[in-house]
Amino acid sequence: MPETRISLLDLTRAELAARLAERGLSPVHAARVWSYLYWDCVSSVEEMPDLPAKVRAYLEEEFSLPVPAVANEAHSADGFTRKFLLALADGRQIETVAMRFTGRMTACVSTQVGCAMGCVFCATGQQGFQRHLAPGEIVAQALHIQRLLRARGIAPGQTAYERLRNLVLMGMGEPLHNYEAVMQAVEILRASSGLAIAASRITLSTVGVVPGIVRLADEARPMSLAVSLHAATAEERAALMPAARRWPLDELMNACRYYCEKLQRRIFFEWTLIDGQNDTEAQAHTLGALLRGLPAQVNLIPLNPTTGFGGRPGQGLAAKRFQQILDEHYGLPSTIRQRRGVDIAAGCGQLAGAPPGVR
């Protein structure tokens, strides 16, 4: 039977307080519920014993607390990356990745089941679109990683559990295609009384959904923005990213300029390096000319393999030369992205909502 109750993870603390008040219950209990959800990381209302019986009864009657089941888990040989195949309430599956860097844990979360954008080198795009995720289904992924950190216990010399500090909306799906749910989830995850992930540590990655970029600027959303570019001419970009036909390159760049001017903030541009295709010196000059004058940083990402695309990763001397041209000729800062989890298909473009080996 389909779940008809509202997910507690779909609600902000203020929304939960308002619902308690509508039921004639004190809204002050929202703070304790919030603490149970985002500090204690409970999995059910039964694990909230300090609440008055009437409040617990109301929560059990009107709300659900979905905890995605782990259908599969993979550990990378790099020792820093874990990928989780999570089963949602309707049987659909998504992938979430935990990446350990020096001094921090980063969660890479999905925003849709599948993706409608169709990027040819992306396993999620090859899968096609199935449905949007609800805010709580996005939040639940971050909570899953936080539970892992709690399970590690309190480290020697520390006084509290390690907290999840970094979030990237770069998993399965296009975040700006599911705008309302994604922004609700971000608001919940940023709340100081919850996981309290700082806006400066949240990055949203888009293929270039122009109306969404403009809306981010108009609403002054405080997270970082990463735009997947991968080609610096309209024709080449459309060949790699079908969505570029809907939002042509000139429209995208106008939206990016608007975003930068409106928010006085830089944009990260993502460039997947494909050997012999977009990792050449000529391509570096074309990209530099395109981004000239923008407050931008380029993330160079050696292509990660997928079964549906035959390209090879651009790396080594070509990648270094590409980076050198951006710096010396155009003053563009860039980084060559450290590859993580490629052996378990946990890298950028590899998530497909299926166990390893089933792609």
Q: How many residues does the chain have?
A: 359
SS3 content of the chain, % helix, strand, coil (to 5): 40, 20, 40
Contact 11, 68 (CB under 8 A): no
d(CA 106, CA 97): 8
Catalytic residue among 95, 137, 174, 270: 95
Q: Which pLDDT score, from 0 to 100, does residue 155 have?
A: 76
d(CA 231, CA 325) in angstroms, rounded, equals 16
Q: Beta strands 104-108 and 93-101: pairing type?
A: antiparallel
Which of 288-291's residues contact partners 24+ apart within 8 Å by CB, and which partners? 288/325, 288/326, 288/329, 288/330, 288/332, 289/232, 289/330, 290/232, 290/249, 290/253, 291/330, 291/332
What is the pLDDT, as a whole number, of residue 228? 96
**Tens-level pLDDT at each residue, the chain (359 residues):** 567 899 999 999 999 999 999 999 999 999 999 999 999 999 999 999 999 999 999 999 999 999 999 999 999 999 999 999 999 999 999 999 999 988 889 999 999 999 999 998 898 988 899 999 999 999 999 999 999 998 888 877 777 889 999 999 999 999 999 999 999 999 999 998 889 999 999 999 999 999 999 999 999 999 999 999 999 999 999 999 999 999 999 999 999 999 999 999 999 999 999 999 999 999 999 999 999 999 999 999 999 888 888 889 887 899 999 999 999 999 999 999 877 888 898 888 888 866 554 44
Residue 256 annotated in active site:
no
Contact assessment for residue 299 and residue 335, using Cβ atoms and an 8 Å cutoff: yes
List all residues 6 or more positions away from 198 whose beta carbon is below 8 Å from its beta carbon.
Answer: 165, 190
Would you state the pLDDT for residue 207? 96
Q: Residue 192 burial by CB count (10 A; 0-12/13-18/19+): exposed, middle or buried?
A: exposed
Q: Residue 167 and residue 154: Cα distance in Å, rounded?
A: 21
253-258: long-range pairs with CB below 8 Å, 24+: 253/290, 255/208, 255/210, 255/213, 255/214, 256/213, 256/227, 256/294, 257/294, 258/213, 258/214, 258/217
Q: Where are the domains of the chain?
A: 6-64, 69-344
The answer to whether 74 and 346 are in contact (CB under 8 A) is yes
Q: Of 255, 349, 346, 257, which Cα lies nearest the Cα of 296? A: 257
Q: Which CATH number fits domain 6-64: 1.10.150.530, 3.30.420.40, 3.20.20.70, 3.10.450.50?
A: 1.10.150.530
10 Å CB burial of residue 151 (0-12, 13-18, 19+) is exposed
3-state secondary structure of 186: helix
Dist. CA 7–CA 340, nearest whole Å: 33
Amino acid at residue number 76:
S
CB within 8 Å of 20: residues ≥ 6 apart: 26, 27, 29, 30, 55, 58
**Packing angle between helix 13-22 and helix 29-38, nearest 10 degrees?**
140
pLDDT score recorded for residue 358: 45
Q: Identify the active-site residue in 122, 256, 260, 348.
A: 348
The whole-angstrom separation of Cα 350 and Cα 272 is 13
3-class secondary structure, 221:
coil
Half-sphere exposure of 241 (CA within 13 A, CB side): 26
pTM, two decimal places: 0.95
**Core vs surface per residue 86-99: b (16+ CB within 10 A) or e:** bebeeebbbbbbbb
Using the structure block, give the residue that is written with the tokens 């563009």: 332
CATH of domain 69-344: 3.20.20.70
pLDDT value of residue 353: 65
Q: Which pLDDT score, from 0 to 100, does residue 76 have?
A: 94
DSSP three-state, residue 128: coil
Amino acid at 287: L
Q: Is 236 a catalytic residue?
A: no
